[in-house]
């Protein structure tokens, strides 16, 4: 038996290691060729101090207060040379991955399916022989190379971590490199390279109601989050507001409806900004965030979409005078300058 430990490095790279029962995180990482910061390895110097974002663990009491104070411990700081996981954990490492002699991973995948879900959205399904190794935290993204091109683009997983195949929701941008490939050239069997996972937008431990806000294909990481919530059997109230520009842009409503049946406390609303929409809710997501969805601030908000939508929601939230317990967001910023993986 072993636990899966996600190591999130300062440069956004995530690596996953397996930690055996009674094994210390520092030792498990080293065994898997990741040199986490360390000096004494004995709970004395504090060099291995990291922050444990989620999970249960035992730190023992064989370390010095100088290395880790009670106050730091309360702030979820840990010494990886002392930390013995008792569940899967997520650990933030305050150092770039390259300094720990590691980097993002790459895999060769095969296109299983490319489906035009709407005029503006394509669903890409990738098979990977090493699918079990392609681990990620729900909400994270990978860099996907355009075949025979010299560019990569970032895409958030819409599938559930640890399951095959890998799926993505991709906006069809006129004249876009990836958009052109997916709509004009892609066919099952094509090879695509993925590199990652990356990103600090991922589902944290759920301890209070969630408000999920999606704009367009920003729905992708929130679908992945819903899959994880369902897998973990989480029962806190979850509300999703999904905004699109036109009726034609609506995708995956069948999947969202299925989640309302699987998750007792989940519901979602769709709003369309086109005033001629056939949907009852028209306008932007900010027009439909009712006060009760903010739970007087006792809420964790996850927001994802194109930069103008994310900015508009942030401005709106600031104006409400309610500070959510946690607020996480991902902007789908265009990356025209990136080179191949």
List of residues contacting ligand FAD (CB under 6 A): 141, 153-156, 168-171, 173, 175-179, 199, 217, 220, 306, 330, 332-336
Cα–Cα nearest to 46, from 28, 30, 26:
26
The C-alpha atoms of residue 137 and residue 282 are separated, in whole angstroms, by: 33
The answer to whether the Cα torsion of 188, 193, 199, 202 is positive or negative is positive
Which lies closer to ligand FAD via its Cβ, residue 179 or residue 228? Answer: 179
> Is residue 40 close enough to count as binding ligand FES by CB under 6 A?
yes
Question: Toward ligand FAD, which CB reaches closer, 79 or 226?
Answer: 226
Q: Which does 169 bind (CB under 5 to 8 A by kind): ligand FAD, ligand FES, none?
A: ligand FAD
Nearer to ligand FAD, 128 or 309 (CB): 309
84 binds ligand FES (CB under 6 A): no
**Residue with token string 């009852």:** 280
Of 28, 29, 34, 48, which one interacts with ligand FES (CB under 6 A)?
48
The option from ligand FES, ligand FAD, none interacting with 335 (CB < 5 to 8 A, set by class) reads ligand FAD
Nearest of 204, 143, 147 to residue 13 by alpha carbon = 143
Least separation in angstroms between residue 16's CB and ligand FAD is: 19
Q: Does 41 bind ligand FES (CB under 6 A)?
A: yes
DSSP β-bridge partners for residue 58: 84
59 φ/ψ angles, rounded to the nearest 5 degrees: -100, -10
Q: Please give the angle made by the CA atoms of 327, 201 and 290, to the nearest 5 degrees.
A: 35
Given a contact cutoff of 8 angstroms between Cβ atoms, the answer to whether 336 and 173 are in contact is no
Q: Which two tokens stand for residue 162?
A: 């640890």
Q: How far is CA 119 from the centre of its chain?
A: 26
Q: Kindly state the smallest distance separating residue 63's Cβ from ligand FES, in Å.
A: 6
- Site for ligand FES, residues 60 to 79, rule: CB under 6 A: 67, 79
- Shortest approach of ligand FES to residue 43 CB, angstroms? 5
Using CA atoms, how far apart are residues 224 and 57, in angstroms rounded to an integer?
A: 26
Q: Which one, 59 or 341, has the nearer CB to ligand FES?
A: 59
Q: Of these partners, ligand FES, ligand FAD, none, which one is at the site of residue 330 (CB under 5 to 8 Å by kind)?
A: ligand FAD
Q: Which does 79 bind (CB under 5 to 8 A by kind): ligand FAD, ligand FES, none?
A: ligand FES
Kind and range of the H or E run holding 225: helix 219-232
- By CB under 6 A, tell whether 45 contacts ligand FES: yes
Under the binding rule (CB under 6 A), the answer on residue 95 touching ligand FES is: no
* Closest to 227 measured CA to CA, from 246, 250, 247, 252: 252
How does DSSP classify residue 154? E
Is the distance from CB of 193 to CB of 106 less than 8 angstroms? Answer: yes
Cβ proximity to ligand FAD, 3 vs 201, nearer residue: 201
Q: Given the rule CB under 6 A, which of 46-54, 84-92, 139-147, 297-305 is the region that contacts ligand FES?
A: 46-54
The yes or no reply on residue 160 touching ligand FES (CB under 6 A) is: no
DSSP letter for 278, please.
Answer: S
Q: Which of 315, 252, 244 lies closest to 285 in space, CA to CA?
A: 244
Can you tell me the distance from the alpha carbon of 262 to that of 315, in angstroms, rounded to the nearest whole number?
Answer: 33
Instruction: Name the segment binding ligand FES (CB under 6 A); options: 35-43, 159-167, 252-260, 267-275.
Output: 35-43
Using CB under 6 A, list all residues that contact ligand FES. Answer: 38-41, 43-48, 67, 79, 81
């Amino acid at each position: 038996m072993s636990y899966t430990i996600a190591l999130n490095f300062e440069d956004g790279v995530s690596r996953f290691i397996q930690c055996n029962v009674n094994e210390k995180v520092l030792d498990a990482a080293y065994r898997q060729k990741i040199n986490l910061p360390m000096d004494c390895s004995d709970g004395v110097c504090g060099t291995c101090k990291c922050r444990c974002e989620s999970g249960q663990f035992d730190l023992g009491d064989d370390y010095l207060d100088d290395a880790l104070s009670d106050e730091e411990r309360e702030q979820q700081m840990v010494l990886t040379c002392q930390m013995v996981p008792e569940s899967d954990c997520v650990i933030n490492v305050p150092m770039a991955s390259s300094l720990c002699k590691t980097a993002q991973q790459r895999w060769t995948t095969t296109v299983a399916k490319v489906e035009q879900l709407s005029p503006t959205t394509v669903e890409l399904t990738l098979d990977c022989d090493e699918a079990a190794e392609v681990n990620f935290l729900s909400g994270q993204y990978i860099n996907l190379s355009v075949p025979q091109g010299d560019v990569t683009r970032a895409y958030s997983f819409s599938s559930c971590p640890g399951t095959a195949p890998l799926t993505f929701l991709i906006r069809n941008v006129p004249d876009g490199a990836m958009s052109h490939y997916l709509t004009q050239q892609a066919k099952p069997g094509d090879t695509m390279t993925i590199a990652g996972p990356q990103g600090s937008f991922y589902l944290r431990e759920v301890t209070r109601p969630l408000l999920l806000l999606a704009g367009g294909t920003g729905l992708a990481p929130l679908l992945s989050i819903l899959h994880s919530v369902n897998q973990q059997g989480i029962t806190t109230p979850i509300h999703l507001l999904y905004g699109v520009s036109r009726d034609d842009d609506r995708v995956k409503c069948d999947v969202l409806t299925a989640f309302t049946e699987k998750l007792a406390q989940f519901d979602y609303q769709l709003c369309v900004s086109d005033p001629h929409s056939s949907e009852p809710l028209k306008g932007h997501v900010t027009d439909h965030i009712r006060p009760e969805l903010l739970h007087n601030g006792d809420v964790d908000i996850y927001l994802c979409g194109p930069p103008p939508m994310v900015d508009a929601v942030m401005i709106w939230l600031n104006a409400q005078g309610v500070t959510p317990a946690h607020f996480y967001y991902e902007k789908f910023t265009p990356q025209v300058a990136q080179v191949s993986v």
